[in-house]
Amino acid sequence: MKKLTKREDQIMQVIWGTEGVFIRDILEALPIPKPHYNTVATIVKILVKKDFLKSEKFGNTDRYSAVIQKEAYLKEDLEDIKEKYFGNSLPKMMAHFAKQEKLSNKEIDELIAIIKSKKN
């Protein structure tokens, strides 16, 4: 699966929360400073070429929806990070995030409970 650029990811975050959107809808949902309409249209076309989006004609305009779901992209992206930065070790990756986030005892207990429930 191809990787998303920062701007592509920003647009996909908008689209993943919908059933389908028009470019104007995407533009409205983006934070200020908003990119130009043509910039968003170009990025959306790139996302179609990358097979992240599909388009459906509505009169003379297109409505876009996700082909690749957020969960599938997230899973693959995290797998790549785990392999690239942590020697494909989930414990090393989790330890890194636990240290970086300065987890509270309650949060650590919650993680331990999740891990134990998956073990059984």
Q: Is the pLDDT of residue 120 over 80?
A: no
Domain ranges of the chain: 6-66, 70-119
Residue 70 is encoded by which pair of tokens?
């957020």
Mean pLDDT, range 47-62, rounded to an integer: 93
Mean pLDDT, range 34-42, rounded to an integer: 94
Q: Lowest mean pLDDT: which of 19-23, 75-79, 81-85, 115-119?
A: 115-119
Quote the CA–CA distance of 29 and 25 in Å, as a whole number: 6
- Whole-prediction pTM value? 0.76
Is the CB of residue 64 less than 8 Å from the CB of residue 48? yes
Mean pLDDT, range 28-43, rounded to an integer: 93
Quote the CA–CA distance of 64 and 13 in Å, as a whole number: 13
Q: What values do phi and psi take at 96, rounded to 5?
A: -60, -50
SS (H, E, C) 26-57: HHHHCCCCCCCHHHHHHHHHHHHHCCCEEEEE
pLDDT at 115: 82
Q: Lowest mean pLDDT: which of 11-15, 82-86, 96-100?
A: 96-100
Q: How confident is the model at residue 1 (pLDDT cuts 50, 70, 90)?
A: low
The domain defined by 6-66 carries CATH number 3.30.365.10: no
CB atoms within 10 A of CB 93: 17
